[in-house]
């Protein structure tokens, strides 16, 4: 089995100590990427549920052997210790509760190897108490606990209980920890030496809105908080009373009677509180620069804001293309990364915030109007390259490699600037690829604004020299007048395509470069409409070609019409389903056809085309259907509970059928089935297990769920024949690490200081030398010592001494 499509931005990433690698939480694994190339180097496998935190062990001295160690936490309740350079799991600690966040202050780097008591390592965990039901009103399921990772024991009681698990933020020094809890900040001071639970002190800072972000200043007692309305609050001098060890309790009480502190609410322990406001919506992250002079903030508008802490002045890095989620800094002040909501991580050069590399995962699904929602959720497959093809929110089409789990390319469908805060006004409704991937067709819908200005475009694209590279060939505006397009499909020989319309007709399109005039002169290359068909003015809701291209099936609401695509002649009409048909698919040769209906009475029907009658059917709500292709007689169905069902609505089942038999051959329960899709792909596109001599011939089944996570497996159960995919690239060339001047301004140019390449400056005497001594550019003038002596000699007379 091959899996992939995990989110790269479910949790903040972490840099290695040398800044050469970036550790990214990807589902139940941690992927390690090279920061110089943006390619995956290795993968850490050991957790069984989503990884939520990565903490790199800092290097406090010359102990280079600890350069590549890290701790990870997961929803499986385990904390793991890794050597990520060798992809080796060193130690696993079971906490027995799902862990949502983890920080480790005052971390020694030899914790695993040392058996001394002083090597105790305390982790602060945000866990979920699974013994409490989340449905209970005001149930406090989130807990902040302390865990000794050396002896795998919990320390002390609970630091806090919250309605849901909260993210823990730690200061650079490890002295302060904090969480957001509705309209309050909880801040703890942790003893740096001789840790004792009862010596942990806590304060609360209050606000009028729910807080969404938190950051500590690297050197001063300043904490920043962002709220859901876009405001940023700066508390200065927090904890001056509670956290000051030298103060007596009576002295602390005296501080409460001081003059009113500006901006501070109630008895909050802070000297002052100031407010900044630029973001129009929720602040997603706050991070101080390494020197503490600047504060970085980001949110839904996709703009990085750089605030000057002393003055409150700001500058911007706009057009990052997607809402911002996290900002992570490395030990190199010139290198940071920004995690975006479109499952992309940008490696940026600081302080200019120029994007150096981008690590792109599969694009997440996004909400589209119901009128643009198709059966496959905007997901199709490239059978020639083994890629999944899906629409993106920024009017693009992404080609994503199922084998490499990386983006292959993007095609810009609509030349329009995308702003994350804008409403969706343009949607790529349909995508179709020819069998060999040489031609792509898209349907682009521009939604009307207040009922005015809607537009439907049909575009044909020609493939370039590489997979996923396409150039626009033909644009057809309003191909079905003002009606929307319900289906788009290519004939297997690539020379013909069909579109069906809710307006009551379908059109057959051909490539005009394949059509010659009588004078044998080729027309200009492009696609044109060759014929139009209709059936009783009914809306045409689905269309498909047979495997040999000789038959075209078009659904006219509840019936299926069969046509000869060459002559556009109606051959037969079959069936009468309960609700409109939304998908058609041929199985094998020309003997069977599958139809899928949705609505109040969903139905899956297998039609016998030789007898022009129903073969068998199920009352089943189908999300996707896929035929094995060629002369194969198998097909797979992704089914969900009916849309009226409330329980576990996203989960479903995959059923594998032999077309003659209504009893499924195999079934698989799957999660997140709503909005998913299926496809059979050739087994030659994926690696063969080297330990299996028998050559695999049957196609593999690909399942993409509603979150665009995917699995590739053998539907016949021969999983041992699929080669294990280790997405590692240890041969990735690493660029040398730069420090100092080079890390900020780049490498210095090389200068050749050979004397034969430097023109010599003549010092020949002349009658009027003072006129030419200072002529020429300043950078070629001789040294001042030579200039001075020559100048003085030119204005003084030389007295000759005569000898007797």
- pLDDT of 692 reads 57
Closest CA to 440 of 374, 378, 490, 387: 490
- Banded pLDDT at 59 (limits 50, 70, 90): confident
Q: Are 657 and 637 in contact (CB under 8 A)?
A: yes
| Least-confidence region, from 63-72, 201-210, 616-625 | 63-72
Q: How far is CA 316 from CA 301, 306, 688, in A?
A: 12, 6, 50
Among 502, 548, 505, CA closest to 529:
505
Q: Say how many C-beta atoms besides its own lie within 10 A of residue 595's C-beta.
A: 28
Token reading at 406? 């990386």
User: Residue 773's pLDDT band (boundaries 50, 70, 90)?
Assistant: low
Nearest CA to 114 among 46, 63, 55?
A: 63
Average pLDDT for 632-638? 90
Three-class secondary structure of residue 456 per DSSP: strand
The pLDDT, as a whole number, for residue 242 is: 86
What is the mean pLDDT of the segment spanning 579-601? Answer: 90
The 3-state secondary structure of 99-110 reads EEEEECCCCCCC
C-alpha Rg value of the chain to the nearest Å: 34
CB 681 within 8 A of CB 700: yes
- Tokens standing for residue 447: 């939604």
Say yes or no to pLDDT of 336 above 50. Answer: yes
Q: How many CB atoms lie within 10 A of CB 585?
A: 18
pLDDT of residue 736: 54
- The pLDDT value given to residue 1: 80
Q: What CA–CA distance (Å, rounded) separates 177 from 292?
A: 18
**Mean local confidence (pLDDT), 570-599:** 90
pLDDT, tens digit, for every residue of 255-304? 444 557 888 988 898 999 999 999 999 999 999 999 999 999 999 999 99
Q: Burial level of 165, CB count in 10 A (0-12/13-18/19+)?
A: buried
- Cα 680 to Cα 684: distance, rounded to the nearest angstrom: 12
DSSP letters, 361-423, are -PPPP----GGG--TTTTEEEETTTTEEEEE-TTSEEEEEETTTTEEEEEEE-S-----TTS-
pTM of the model: 0.83
Peptide bond into 231 cis (omega under 30): no
| Pairwise pLDDT comparison (353 vs 244), residue with the higher score | 353
- Please answer whether residues 232 and 276 qualify as being in contact, where contact means their C-beta atoms are separated by less than 8 angstroms: yes
In the block, tokens 């690539």 appear at: 494
Strands laid side by side in the 540-545 sheet: 540-545, 552-556, 559-564, 569-574
pLDDT surpassing 80 at residue 238: yes
3-state SS assignment for residue 756: helix
How far apart CA 24 and CA 47 sit, in angstroms, is 14
Q: What is the side-by-side order of every strand in the sheet holding 470-477?
A: 426-433, 439-446, 455-463, 470-477
Other beta carbons within 10 Å of 450: 5
Strand order in the sheet with 231-236: 211-216, 222-227, 231-236, 272-277
Cite the beta strand spans of 243-378 per DSSP E. 272-277, 283-288, 294-299, 304-308, 314-317, 324-329, 335-340, 344-349, 354-360
User: Looking at the predicted structure, is the pLDDT value of residue 793 above 60?
Assistant: yes
Rounded-to-integer distance, Cα 568 and Cα 496, Å: 13
The conformation of residue 374, written as its DSSP 8-state character, comes to -
pLDDT tens digits, residue range 61-111?
554 556 789 999 999 999 999 999 999 999 999 999 999 999 999 776 544
> What is the predicted pLDDT for the residue at 240?
86
Question: Using CA atoms, how far apart are residues 286 and 294, in angstroms rounded to an integer?
Answer: 11
Query: Band of the pLDDT at 696, cuts 50, 70, 90?
Result: low
Q: What is the 3-state secondary structure (H, E, C) of 480-499?
A: CCCCCEEEEEECCCCCEEEE
As to burial, measured by CB atoms within 10 angstroms (0-12 exposed, 13-18 middle, 19+ buried), residue 794 is middle
The DSSP-derived string for 539-573 is PEEEEEE-TTSS-EEEEETTEEEEEETTTTEEEEE
Q: What is the mean pLDDT of residues 121-129?
A: 93
Instruction: Say whether pLDDT at 710 is over 80.
Output: yes
* pLDDT for position 465: 83
> What is the number of H-type helices and E-type strands within the chain?
3, 56
pLDDT tens digits along 136-158: 667 889 999 999 988 889 998 89
Examine the pLDDT at 613 and tell me if it is beyond 70.
yes
Residues shown for the chain: 804
**What is the mean pLDDT of the segment spanning 210-229?**
95
Q: Is 11 helix (H, G, I), strand (E, B) or coil?
A: coil
Residue 227 bridge partners (DSSP)? 211
What's the pLDDT at 573? 95
Nearest to 302, CA basis, from 279, 288, 318: 318
Torsion angle in degrees (nearest 10) through CA of 447, 437, 377, 344: -90
Q: Can you tell me the mean pLDDT for 655-670? A: 93
Contacting residues for 417 by C-beta, under 8 A, at least 6 apart: none
CB atoms within 10 A of CB 644: 8
pLDDT > 80? residue 393? yes
**726 has pLDDT over 60:** no
Determine the average pLDDT of the residues in 344-369.
Answer: 91
Query: What per-residue confidence (pLDDT) applies to 110?
Result: 45
Q: Write phi, then psi, for 790 (nearest 5 degrees).
A: -70, -40
Query: Which residue's entry shows tokens 């409330």?
Result: 646
Unique residue bearing structure tokens 């659904």: 555
The encoded tokens of residue 554 equal 């078009």
pLDDT range class, residue 421, cuts 50, 70, 90: low
Q: What is the pLDDT of residue 425?
A: 80
Please say if the pLDDT value at position 485 is more than 90.
yes
- Portion of the chain with pLDDT greater than 90, in percent: 55
pLDDT at residue 741, rounded to an integer: 57
Nearest to 219 by CA among 117, 288, 116: 288
Region 611-635: mean pLDDT is 88
pLDDT at 518: 44
Is the predicted pLDDT of residue 512 greater than 70, yes or no? yes
Dihedral of CA 353/358/363/364: which sign?
negative
* Res 119: pLDDT: 65
Between 540 and 772, residue with greater pLDDT: 540
Task: Give dist(CA 428, CA 457) in Å, integer.
Answer: 10
């Amino acid at each position: 089995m091959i899996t992939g499509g995990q989110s790269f931005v479910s949790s903040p990433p972490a840099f290695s100590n040398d800044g050469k690698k970036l550790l990214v939480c990807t589902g139940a694994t941690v992927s390690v990427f090279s920061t110089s190339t943006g390619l995956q180097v290795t993968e850490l496998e050991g957790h069984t549920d989503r990884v939520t935190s990565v903490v790199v062990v800092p290097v406090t001295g010359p102990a280079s052997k600890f350069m590549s160690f890290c701790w990870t936490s997961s929803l499986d309740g385990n904390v793991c210790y890794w050597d990520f350079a060798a992809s080796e799991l060193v130690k696993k600690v079971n906490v027995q509760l799902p862990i949502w966040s983890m920080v480790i202050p005052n971390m020694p780097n030899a914790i695993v190897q040392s058996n001394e008591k002083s090597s105790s390592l305390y982790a602060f965990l945000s866990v979920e108490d699974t013994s409490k039901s989340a449905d209970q009103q005001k149930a406090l399921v989130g807990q902040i606990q302390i865990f000794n990772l050396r002896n795998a024991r919990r320390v002390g009681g609970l630091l806090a209980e919250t309605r849901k698990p909260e993210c823990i933020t730690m200061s650079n020094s490890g002295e302060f920890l904090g969480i957001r809890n509705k309209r309050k900040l909880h801040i703890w001071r942790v003893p740096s030496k001789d840790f004792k639970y009862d010596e942990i002190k806590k304060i609360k800072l209050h606000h009028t809105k729910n807080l969404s972000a938190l950051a500590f200043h690297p050197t001063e007692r300043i904490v920043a908080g962002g709220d859901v309305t876009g405001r940023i609050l700066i508390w200065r001098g927090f904890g001056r009373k509670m956290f000051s060890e030298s103060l007596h309790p009576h002295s602390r009480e005296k501080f409460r009677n001081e003059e009113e502190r500006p901006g501070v609410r109630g008895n909050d322990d802070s000297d002052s509180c100031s407010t900044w406001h630029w973001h129009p919506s929720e602040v997603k992250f706050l991070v101080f620069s390494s020197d503490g002079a600047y504060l970085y903030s980001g949110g839904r508008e996709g703009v990085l804001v750089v605030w000057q802490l002393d003055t409150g002045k700001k500058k911007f890095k706009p057009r990052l293309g997607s809402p911002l989620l996290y900002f992570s800094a490395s030990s190199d002040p010139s290198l940071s990364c920004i995690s975006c909501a479109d499952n992309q991580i940008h490696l940026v050069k600081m302080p200019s915030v120029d994007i150096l590399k981008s690590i792109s995962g599969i694009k997440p699904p996004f909400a589209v109007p119901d009128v643009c929602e198709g059966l496959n959720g905007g997901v199709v497959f490239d059978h020639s390259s083994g890629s999944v093809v899906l629409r993106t929110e920024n009017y693009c089409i992404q080609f994503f490699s199922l084998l490499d789990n990386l983006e292959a390319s993007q095609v810009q469908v609509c030349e329009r600037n995308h702003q994350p805060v804008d409403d969706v006004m343009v949607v790529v409704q349909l995508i179709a690829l020819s069998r060999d991937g040489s031609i792509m067709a898209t349907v682009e819908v521009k939604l009307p604004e207040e009922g005015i200005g809607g537009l439907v475009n049909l575009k044909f694209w020609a493939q370039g020299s590489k997979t996923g590279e396409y150039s626009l060939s033909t644009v057809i505006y309003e191909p079905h007048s003002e009606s929307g397009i319900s289906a788009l499909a290519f004939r297997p020989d690539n020379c013909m395509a069909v579109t069906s319309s809710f307006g009551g007709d379908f059109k057959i399109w051909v490539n005009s470069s394949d059509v010659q005039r009588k004078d044998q002169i080729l027309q200009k290359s492009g696609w044109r409409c060759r014929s139009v068909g209709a059936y009783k003015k009914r809306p045409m809701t689905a269309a498909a070609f047979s495997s040999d291209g000789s038959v075209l099936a078009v659904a006219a609401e509840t019936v299926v019409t069969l046509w000869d695509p060459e002559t556009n002649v109606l051959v037969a009409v079959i069936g009468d389903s309960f609700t409109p048909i939304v998908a058609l698919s041929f199985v094998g040769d020309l003997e069977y056809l599958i139809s899928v209906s949705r609505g109040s009475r969903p139905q899956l029907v297998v039609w016998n085309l030789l007898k022009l009658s129903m073969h068998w059917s199920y009352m089943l709500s189908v999300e996707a259907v896929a035929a094995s292709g060629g002369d194969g007689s198998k097909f797979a169905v992704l089914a969900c509970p009916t849309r009226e069902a409330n329980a576990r609505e996203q989960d479903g089942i995959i059923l594998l059928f032999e077309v003659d038999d209504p009893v499924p051959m195999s079934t698989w329960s799957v999660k997140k089935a709503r909005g998913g899709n299926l496809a059979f792909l050739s087994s030659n596109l994926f690696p063969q297990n080297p330990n299996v001599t028998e050559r695999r011939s049957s196609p593999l089944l690909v399942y993409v769920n509603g979150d665009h996570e995917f699995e590739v497996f053998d539907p016949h159960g021969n999983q041992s024949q699929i080669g294990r995919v280790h997405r590692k690239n240890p041969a990735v060339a690493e660029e040398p690490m730069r420090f100092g001047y080079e890390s900020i301004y780049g490498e210095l140019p090389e200068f050749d200081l050979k004397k034969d390449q430097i023109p010599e400056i003549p010092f020949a005497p002349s009658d009027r030398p003072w006129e030419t001594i200072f002529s020429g550019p300043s950078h070629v003038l001789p040294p001042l010592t030579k200039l001075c002596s020559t100048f003085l000699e030119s204005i003084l007379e030389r007295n000759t001494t005569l000898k007797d």
